[in-house]
Each structure stands twice: as C-alpha cells, then as structure tokens.
Amino acid sequence: MTTASRIDDYRQVAPPGAVDIILKLAEHVRGRRLLHVSGGRFGGGAAEALQTLVPLPGDVGVDTAWEITGGDPVFYGTATALQAAMEAASASSTTRP
C-alpha cells in the first residue's frame, strides 16, 4: 500500500514556487467535490495513480473520493472502447496536414 502524499512533500522535487502556484490556484476550487471512478483499486495505471493522487486535493480543501464500479466484462469492454476512441480523437487532433 502506498503512503498518502501531502502537497508540501512536493516542495523538495518541484521547481521553486510551483507548489505555491498550485496552492494559489486551489483557492478557486476550495470547497468543491471531486469523485474519481475506476474499475478496481489494484492493477492498471488508473488504480496505481489514484492511490497517491486522491489524497492531494484534500490538502487544498477539495472533498475527494474514489469509488469502484466493480468492473464486470461489459464495463471493461466499454472502458476499453471509450479509451480507444479518446486516444484516436487525441491523435487526430494533434496530427498536422
């Protein structure tokens, strides 16, 4: 299990002033709610990233939660198709004629 990161932990590795900029920008979203949704808590890129990312918005006053959908075969088929469509759209928007 990954230990929760705190926003101030990033001062050691972020460019000077970067954390202060994040904290200043966060004033605009303080008090809002953010829900992360994924198919599972383990394995895959989203689950690995969310283990450390979910706690961070709480440091700046954003109520953050992470819910699991259960991930049956229909869910994974839909998620895979959606990801492929978004990647295709992203690739076509970055290609130049």
What pLDDT was estimated at residue 1? 40
Q: Tell me the whole-structure pTM to 2 decimals.
A: 0.57
How many residues in total does the chain contain?
97
Alpha-carbon separation of residue 61 from 26, 30, 47, 53 (angstroms): 8, 5, 22, 14
Q: How many Å apart are CA 34 and CA 96, to the nearest integer?
A: 35
Return d(Cα 15, Cα 10) in angstroms, integer: 9
If we measure between CA atoms, which residue out of 12, 14, 20, 4 comes closest to residue 64? 4
Q: How far is residue 30's CA from residue 23's CA, in Å, rounded to a whole number? A: 10
Domain map (residue ranges) of the chain: 7-70
Q: What is the pLDDT along the chain (97 residues), one digit of tens a residue?
A: 444 568 888 999 999 999 999 999 999 999 999 988 877 777 677 777 887 788 888 888 899 988 887 767 887 788 788 888 988 876 665 555 5
The residue to which tokens 């949704």 are assigned: 37
CA atoms within 13 A on the CB side of 31: 2
For 57, other C-beta atoms within 10 Å of its C-beta total 19
